[in-house]
Structure 1
Amino acid sequence: MLRSLSMAIAMASAGMAWAQTPPLSVRTDLVSIYQEAANNNADLAAARAQYRARQELVPQARAGLLPNLSGSAFVGDTRTKVDTSLGQQRIDRSARSYQAQLSQPLFRADRWFQLQAAQATSEQAALQFSASEQDIILQSAEAYFAVLRAQDNLAATKAEESAFQRQLDQANERFNVGLSDRTDTLQAQSAYDTARANRLLAQRQVDDAFQALTTLTNRDYNSLEGINHDLPILEPVPNDASQWVQTAARQNLDLQATNFAVTAAEETLRQRRAGHAPTLDAVASYERGDNDALGQPNDALSGANIGGATLPRFNGDVEQTSIGLQLNIPIYSGGRTSSQVREAYQLLDQSEQQRESQRRQVVENTRNLHRAVNTDVAQVQARRQTIISGQSALEATEIGYQVGTRNIVDVLDAQRQLYGSVRDYNNARYDYILDNLRLKQAAGTLAPDDLSALAQYLNPNYNPDRDFLPKDLKEAAQRQLQTRQ
């Protein structure tokens, strides 16, 4: 009697309580996961705050080239004691003044280059934030398909456990009627115990994958839409690694950010060198206050009648207005400016080397991912055929076991190989999906539309215990078995 993989799947999904799936009404799709991650992910929120903070460098640097207006006020009392022929005399005076000062930089080369550096840094920050947004797209897909991968792996493991349970029952029956020895029962028991342990581990991996999804989005989920097996498995377009590398050189966001980092370092070097240049400002001031506060000449003591009872005092307000040019020529500052120039030069060299390292990494990643996608395409097709062959081999081995030409070890090995092929097939499918997205990220073209395109192949009625394998594999295996008989 043929014992196909589909029979084991049916028993696993119908006969075990842990094979049930959550209600379909609460299933979440890939695009919804991405939207939740974009709105709630803590790392992305931190990147957004960092971006906005670095945007403020531009108005801060620009302020150094704009007029500066300040105001001040002073109120105070002065007490003076004078020794005279009449004894010690005390003079109390109150002082108050108000001042406004306006300065306009006319020539400040260092501040101009500082503004240029700030603008480059702002562009770098914008690109880095865009890279973070793009990374959330990939992280959403990785977390989503990690759950689906774990669920399919659990489904295969449960089917394997069911198959080994059935094999153990048969071994016990054959032993009871004297058709086999105790060794067959022990072998079947060992295989079943191992499969049960693997199922427990696979269940934990599903829970871990859901927890990672919660960490990404700050939302709890208990069921996701599965990916159909009719997802096209196609080679990358264009299937030319050099074209992907050229696209990455133009559009990779991290690489573009390093270009602006170099520009910022160049402008900072110019700013430090400008520390040796003179500065010129236009300065205007207005001050109003009493005579004492403004420090006007006061002959109160020299013109006083020392022998009299009173001392003369000048009262009333005074106004002062000034306007002019202020030139400052740096001569020597203890070597600080020269040290800052040397520091800026080394930082420029550092940023150039980091850009070159990033360029090489982008080229390597792009080429590797292009090869990975092509390998994944071949892997999916090869793994499908491996399942077909493995299922045919298992059925043939079970027939041989029934007629006495094969032993229990042969059957158990065939089952292990079959379910190993099942897991390899599903892993190859998910590797293909994720490597495609990673290739697009390396090229700088990854966008939310790529997730929408994948969402077209999601199935809200996907049941891992029933659908973890294509439906056509059973018929293909039977045809292959009939051909060989």
Structure 2
Amino acid sequence: MVRLGLSGAALALVLAAPAHADTLQEALTQAYFNNPTLTAARADQRATDENVAIERAAGRPGVTASGSYIEFLKQSSTSFTAPERAFSAGADLSVPIYSGGAVKNAIRAAEVRVGAGQAELRATQSALFRQVVAAYMDVLRNEAILGLTANQVDVLGVNFQATSDRFEIGDLTRTDVAQSQARLALAQADFRGAQANLIGARETYIQLVGEAPTDLQPPPPLPNLPDSVAVAVAIALEENPDLIAARERADAAEIDIDVAGAGRLPRVSLVLGGNYDNYIGTLGGVAAPGGVAVPQTTTAAQAGVQFSIPIFQGGRPAALERQAQARAGAALERIIAAERDVIAQVRAAYASWQASLAIIESSQTAVSAAALSLEGVRAENSIGNRTVLEVLNAEQELLNARVDLVTARRNAYVAGFTLLAAMGQVEARDLGLADEGMLYDPLANYDRVAGKWWGWERGPDPVVESTSTVDVPAATALIGPVDEPESDSIY
């Protein structure tokens, strides 16, 4: 279990408006409650839940009522008792007794698809969390790179000025000045690119989280990472939500074969009906035998068993069954496809994680060595044993090593989280985003609607649950008190 930990008080702070995602935990929590992709997926799952009630309704009693009022404008010339007007009402009750297993199996298939939908909801949530973590780390990385490039511009600016001064006294050549100027111009270009990259990362963060990143803190360590790729794959094959959903959908598709086959079997229902007719005193004619007037109202009731036996349907049931079999075969193949995808994701994420850890170690060594090298080259340049170009190269190597280290740290964290996500270990409860009672529970809605009988009940009108980013100010490239070595900026 990956637990990043967030107290109830901190959660209340996150849910209050406006919220600022200063930590990774708060960013994930904000996205969990307010991201439109996730809230839409929850609404889609609630729609899937209703399929169970829809299929159950086909096996429940049905009652229909009908009525009519008729004015007879012209009577038949041979009718002596025809009424001038009539009112009729009737009611019919039908109770399905046997449907060849179609209803029972349709309910089973719908229930299995609810489970598949819940797994897909987990997968959507996991994918969102991966995106949020990547966006969070991208902001941190690009802030660090922007700081490094800003510092590089300042350093090269000082170098250029010093080179120009030494050229004025004849200590260096114009070539040395040109080399320093070229490196300064390239550093300024890199700085502008770093600004644009940071703004893009911050906008992606706003898109996913719904709030602008403010003073992001370093992320917590990722616990419970697997010891080997084999362990990771074994866990993923049991817990990955995409794979679970594929298996559930294949089970539902196999049940659909029985539903299609039921089209060949008889249908049996109990029926009960009643009718009432009122001619509103307009039924004319002679008196009935015995001197009793023709009644102006009549009632009738019927009860019985109704059945139908398909004899020939033009091959439709067989075609439907073959179609269901083909779809079930496709669903089985999708299990293998999902399994392959999961295995590839896990192995690739594990390899990326391990490689990034090795790159971090190498980059740390490179940074230390490059810093020592730069110090030595500068000292040797001061006594004329090194050229200006060698100093510039040493400064660039140090910058490259620092950027590589920042990037490797970002990649290691994202790869580690991606690995845990592929293993199915990054659900909201695993991450400790909120108390159990505050998390969205798809089972609660299913339990609420699956057994309902009443057809006049209406749910609440839909409302937007996620937050808009229209009023969130556009991202800038500001990172601290010293951000701009030049007077102008992107914003």
TM-score by length of 2: 0.78
Q: For the residues of structure 1 that align with 2:387 and 2:41, how far apart are their CA atoms?
A: 61
Q: For the residues of structure 2 that align with 1:276 and 1:80, how far apart are their CA atoms?
A: 48
Q: For the residues of structure 2 that align with 1:55 and 1:215, how far apart are their CA atoms?
A: 29
Question: 1:30, 1:451 within 8 Å by CA — same for their partners in 2?
Answer: no
Partner of 1:249 in structure 2?
237
CA drift of 1:273 comes to 1.0
Q: For the residues of structure 1 that align with 2:342 and 2:71, how far apart are their CA atoms?
A: 71
Q: Out of 271, 295, 298, which is 2:259 matched to? A: 271
Q: For the residues of structure 2 that align with 1:148 and 1:215, how far apart are their CA atoms?
A: 16
Partner of 1:290 in structure 2?
278
How big is each residue's C-alpha offset from its partner over 1:331-388, in whole Å with a ceiling of 9 and x where there is no partner? 2223322222222112111111111100011011112212222222211111100100
What pairs with 1:84-233 in structure 2 (closer than 5 Å)?
Answer: 92-108=83-99, 109-227=101-219
- Kindly provide the amino acid, as one letter, of the partner of residue 243 in structure 2: L
Partner of 1:9 in structure 2?
none
Q: For the residues of structure 2 that align with 1:90 and 1:327, how far apart are their CA atoms?
A: 37
CA drift of 1:83 comes to 4.8
How many correspondences in the alignment? 415
Q: For the residues of structure 1 that align with 2:378 and 2:65, how far apart are their CA atoms?
A: 97
Q: For the residues of structure 2 that align with 1:226 and 1:154, how far apart are their CA atoms?
A: 17
Question: 1:79, 1:92 within 8 Å by CA — same for their partners in 2?
Answer: no
- Residue 79 in structure 1 maps to residue 59 in structure 2: no
Q: Tell me the SS of whatever aligns to 1:331.
A: coil
Question: 2:109, 2:256 within 8 Å by CA — same for their partners in 1?
Answer: yes
Question: 2:21, 2:27 within 8 Å by CA — same for their partners in 1?
Answer: no
Partner of 2:321 in structure 1?
341
CA drift of 1:90 comes to 11
Question: 1:233, 1:377 within 8 Å by CA — same for their partners in 2?
Answer: no
- Kindly provide the amino acid, as one letter, of the partner of residue 53 in structure 1: A
CA drift of 1:238 comes to 3.5
Q: Tell me the SS of whatever aligns to 1:79.
A: coil
Question: 1:41, 1:217 within 8 Å by CA — same for their partners in 2?
Answer: yes
Question: 1:98, 1:287 within 8 Å by CA — same for their partners in 2?
Answer: yes
How big is each residue's C-alpha offset from its partner over 1:420-455, in whole Å with a ceiling of 9 and x where there is no partner? 1101001111111111111111111114477679xx
Partner of 1:52 in structure 2?
46
- Kindly provide the amino acid, as one letter, of the partner of residue 317 in structure 1: T
CA drift of 1:158 comes to 0.9
Q: For the residues of structure 2 that align with 1:189 and 1:404, how far apart are their CA atoms?
A: 20
- Residue 330 in structure 1 maps to residue 310 in structure 2: yes
What pairs with 1:251-400 in structure 2 (closer than 5 Å)?
Answer: 251-290=239-278, 314-400=294-380
Q: For the residues of structure 2 that align with 1:289 and 1:90, how far apart are their CA atoms?
A: 15
Q: For the residues of structure 1 that align with 2:226 and 2:387, how far apart are their CA atoms?
A: 51
Question: 1:141, 1:451 within 8 Å by CA — same for their partners in 2?
Answer: no
How big is each residue's C-alpha offset from its partner over 1:251-287, in whole Å with a ceiling of 9 and x where there is no partner? 0011001111001111111101111111111111111
Structure (1 or 2) with the greater helix fraction:
1
CA drift of 1:314 comes to 3.4
Q: Are the structure 2 counterparts of residues 92 and 279 from structure 1 closer, same or farther at C-alpha, using a change threshold of 3 Å?
A: closer
Q: Are the structure 2 counterparts of residues 82 and 346 from structure 1 closer, same or farther at C-alpha, using a change threshold of 3 Å?
A: closer
Q: Are the structure 2 counterparts of residues 146 and 127 from structure 1 closer, same or farther at C-alpha, using a change threshold of 3 Å?
A: same
Q: Are the structure 2 counterparts of residues 275 and 89 from structure 1 closer, same or farther at C-alpha, using a change threshold of 3 Å?
A: closer
Q: For the residues of structure 2 that align with 1:274 and 1:387, how far apart are their CA atoms?
A: 72
Gaps of 5+ in 1: 1-24, 293-297, 304-311, 454-462, 467-485
- Residue 427 in structure 1 maps to residue 418 in structure 2: no
Partner of 1:410 in structure 2?
390
How big is each residue's C-alpha offset from its partner over 1:33-61, in whole Å with a ceiling of 9 and x where there is no partner? 11221122111111111111111000000
How big is each residue's C-alpha offset from its partner over 1:279-335, in whole Å with a ceiling of 9 and x where there is no partner? 11111111122379xxxxx9969x9xxxxxxxx983322221111111111122233
- Worse-superposed segment, 360-369 or 215-224: 215-224
Gaps of 5+ in 2: 1-18, 434-477, 482-491
- Kindly provide the amino acid, as one letter, of the partner of residue 196 in structure 1: Q
Q: Tell me the SS of whatever aligns to 1:180.
A: coil
Q: For the residues of structure 2 that align with 1:314 and 1:411, how far apart are their CA atoms?
A: 121
CA drift of 1:187 comes to 0.5
Q: Are the structure 2 counterparts of residues 253 and 405 from structure 1 closer, same or farther at C-alpha, using a change threshold of 3 Å?
A: same
Q: Tell me the SS of whatever aligns to 1:56.
A: helix
Q: For the residues of structure 2 that align with 1:170 and 1:465, how far apart are their CA atoms?
A: 27
Identical columns (%): 23
Q: Are the structure 2 counterparts of residues 278 and 393 from structure 1 closer, same or farther at C-alpha, using a change threshold of 3 Å?
A: same
- Worse-superposed segment, 439-448 or 194-203: 439-448
Structure (1 or 2) with the larger CA radius of gyration: 1
Question: 2:122, 2:427 within 8 Å by CA — same for their partners in 1?
Answer: no
Question: 2:268, 2:306 within 8 Å by CA — same for their partners in 1?
Answer: yes
Question: 1:291, 1:314 within 8 Å by CA — same for their partners in 2?
Answer: no
Q: For the residues of structure 2 that align with 1:89 and 1:465, how far apart are their CA atoms?
A: 102
TM-score by length of 1: 0.79
Question: 1:82, 1:90 within 8 Å by CA — same for their partners in 2?
Answer: no
CA drift of 1:138 comes to 2.0
Q: For the residues of structure 2 that align with 1:26 and 1:372, how far apart are their CA atoms?
A: 31
